Structure formats: structure tokens, C-alpha cells
Amino acid sequence: MSTQSTATRMTIAKALNAGMRAAMERDPKVVLMGEDVGKLGGVFRITEGLQKDFGEDRVVDTPLAESGIMGAAVGMALRGYRPVVEIQFDGFVYPAFDQIVSQVAKMHNRSLGALKVPMVIRIPYGGGIGAVEHHSESNESYFAHTAGLRVVTCSGTEDAYWMMQQAIASDDPVVFYEPKRRYHERGVLDLGEGGGSSLEDAPHALEDAVVRVEGSDVTVLTYGPMVKVAHAAAQAAELEDGPSIEVVDLRSLSPLDVDVIEASVRKTGRCVALSEAQTFASITSELAAHVQEHCFYHLEAPVLRVGGYNIPYPPSRHEEVFLPDLDRVLHAVETVLAY
């Protein structure tokens, strides 16, 4: 592979595809599984072209049976493969929930470390696509609560490419959340002088949080589809000579990168936790609890949470009311500054 530095613009969808392709080229034990991932290339075309290039033995179209898909993947992982399982939509994961929390998450601990379950569970998540029931949910808190699972989510092109490969290479089971309404947004992927030939070229470790926007007055902790909203809020505040907002992209929801989180909040003294998910018993709840426990003497105001309302996900015509937007984020920022 060329050692010349290369940078290109591509969508998150294409970056995820390229990440899986790179992992499959690097390790013949990487196998993709899921409903319509092969000939169709997935409903969002994330796996497009991979069955053609790697064959039906490595890109497997499965029956419409999430529990069966997950059970088969567990067996394959125990036999040395690295299955990458696609759950077609976030709301379809529940038939596989028992397999994930009872087997995938516990096998390594149950065997006292003798067995590993290296697998990636890909879940397109979140709203904003005008879909019907069971197609727009943010259920990441269920899996972040489950000991034994890594839970990560990308927010842009570069992370989509590198985090997918890092997740596949991990010996831990990884639940990989993909912000579906951001699939077709473009970003820059710079493979660096090494041309992306090694995971050592990745700019961040899988569990790292990253400060996306530097600020001094308020920290906004967020992830996945809400990173763009937080970034827009920071820009809007800057244009209006308003508060300086620091945006932290968590990237990893379990484990959390508490060092980056705490350093940012200690600098700004104020914090807003933001996600699409309902706020009750959520990632934002954990963030608020952690910050108030570990940064108490640096806080100038209580931590506020901004998220979806505590109702079942509404019909698509009401999505704009349910999902946090720029105004709700700026209102929370103004509220914590008013203390």
C-alpha cells in the first residue's frame, strides 16, 4: 500500500463500508452477518459490494431472526471467528436482547477468562429519518448498563472508518451504534503517511473521548447524532457573542473516558449532557451523576440534561418536537449560566 498521505471526502456510510473492508482484508476470520447485508448491501447500503468481493461465506444473508443471528454469531466467535452482526434497525434488537445480555456480555467472565467473544453488533440508531414504529430508537443505555459489553458510537467519517476496525479487532464484544440520519453526511478521511495500513495509524483509541470544539464557559457532553447539533449551538453562540461552548464527543459510552470529561468540566465549571435518548435512567443521567460526584467543587451550576422526552418514540410527523434541537441546547446553556 502506498505510503503517500491521502485525504478524501466521503460519507459516514462509505467510511463504515471501507472500515469493514479493511478489517476483512486484514483478517480472514472477519465475517459479516445480517438481514439483507449481502446481495442488497443492507437497507442503508452500508455493506454494499462486500459480498461480491469476499463471497457468500464471509458476507452472509441470514433469516429474519435476530435471536438466531446472535446465537450463531456467539458460536462462531467462540470458534475463533470475528463476526460482525448487523441489526437492521435499532428497534429490531430486542429479540436478540437475551442472547446479548445473557451470553455475549457474560461469557468471558463466566469462563474466568478462558473464553472470548470477539464480535461487533452494528445497530443503526436514532431518529430523524421519518420512519415507522420500531425504526427510530435510542436504546444505547440498555447495553451501556450491561457489564461485559463495550458500547461505542461514531459521529463522523474519520471515526466511522477507524472505530469500526478497532471494534472488530477488539477481543471484547462491542455494540457499535451508527447514527443513521448522519449516514450520508460527508467528512474528511485522512489516512496519513501510512495510508491506513495499520490500526496504529488511528488518531484515537476506541475508548477515547474527543474535544470537538474548544470553549471556556460551558461543557456540552454528547455523542453520535447530537454532536452536529452541539457544534451548531457552539457556532450560533459564538456568532451572537454569547457563551463559549466546549463540545465533547464521548465516542465510547461504556467505558466512559472520564479523564477528558472531568478535565473539560473543571475548566468550564458548567455542564450540559445531551443525547437523543429519553433522559430517565440514561447515558445523560450517568454523565450528570458522575460529573456532580467527581467535579462538585468546580461546578458553578447543576448539570442539566437535554434529550428526548420520556415517552415512546412518537410518529414521524412529531419527530421535530421530540428530538433535541439547537434552541433546546442553547436554552440549557443559558440556564446553567444564569446560576
Domain-embedded: residue 163: yes
Domain count along the chain:
2
Contact (Cβ atoms closer than 8 angstroms) between residue 193 and residue 3 = yes
Q: In CATH, what number is assigned to the domain containing residue 31? A: 3.40.50.970
State the catalytic residues: 135
Q: What is the DSSP string of 25-88?
A: HH-TTEEEEETT-SSS--TT-TTTTHHHHH-TTTEEEPPS-HHHHHHHHHHHHHTT-EEEEEPS
205-225 burial: b if 16+ Cβ within 10 Å, else e: ebbbbbebbebebbbbbbbbb
* 170 and 294 inside one domain: no
What is the structure's pLDDT at 191?
81
Three-class DSSP category at 142? helix
Per-residue pLDDT of the chain (339 residues; tens, 9 = 90+): 444 557 899 999 999 999 999 999 999 999 999 999 999 999 999 999 999 999 999 999 999 999 999 999 999 999 999 999 999 999 999 999 999 999 999 999 999 999 999 999 999 999 999 999 999 999 999 999 999 999 999 999 999 999 999 999 999 999 999 999 999 999 999 886 666 668 988 999 999 999 999 999 999 999 999 999 999 999 999 998 899 999 999 999 999 999 999 999 999 999 999 999 999 999 999 999 999 999 999 999 999 999 999 999 999 899 999 999 999 999 999 999 999
Residue 28 backbone phi and psi in degrees, to 5? -70, -10
* Residue 151 is assigned to a structural domain of this protein: yes
- Domain holding 244, by residue range, is 210-338
The radius of gyration of the chain from alpha carbons, rounded to an integer in Å, stands at 20
Are residues 218 and 247 located together in one domain of the fold?
Answer: yes
Do 215 and 329 share a domain, yes or no?
yes
- Report the DSSP pairing between strands 30-34 and 82-86: parallel
Residue 192 lies in a domain: yes
Give the CA-trace dihedral at 304, 305, 310, 313, to 10 degrees.
150
Alpha-carbon distance 37 to 258, whole Å?
36
Residues with Cβ within 8 Å of residue 42, at least 6 apart in sequence: 34, 36, 48, 86, 88
Let me know if residue 37 belongs to a domain: yes
233 inside domain:
yes
Same-domain pairing of 233 and 195: no
3-state secondary structure of 152: strand
Residue 122 and residue 28 share a domain = yes
Who's near 219: CB < 8 A, 6+ residues apart? Answer: 245, 246, 248, 264, 265, 267, 268, 270, 271, 272
C-alpha to C-alpha distance for 336 and 334, rounded to whole angstroms: 6
Q: What is the CATH number of the domain that holds 233?
A: 3.40.50.920
Looking at the structure, tell me whether residues 271 and 185 fall in a common domain.
Answer: no
Distance CA(49)–CA(57), nearest Å, equals 14
- Residue 299 shares a structural domain with residue 220: yes
Domain final residue, candidates 174, 201, 228: 201
* Residues 190 and 289 reside in one and the same domain: no
pTM of the model: 0.96
Asked if residue 196 and residue 103 are part of one domain, the reply reads: yes
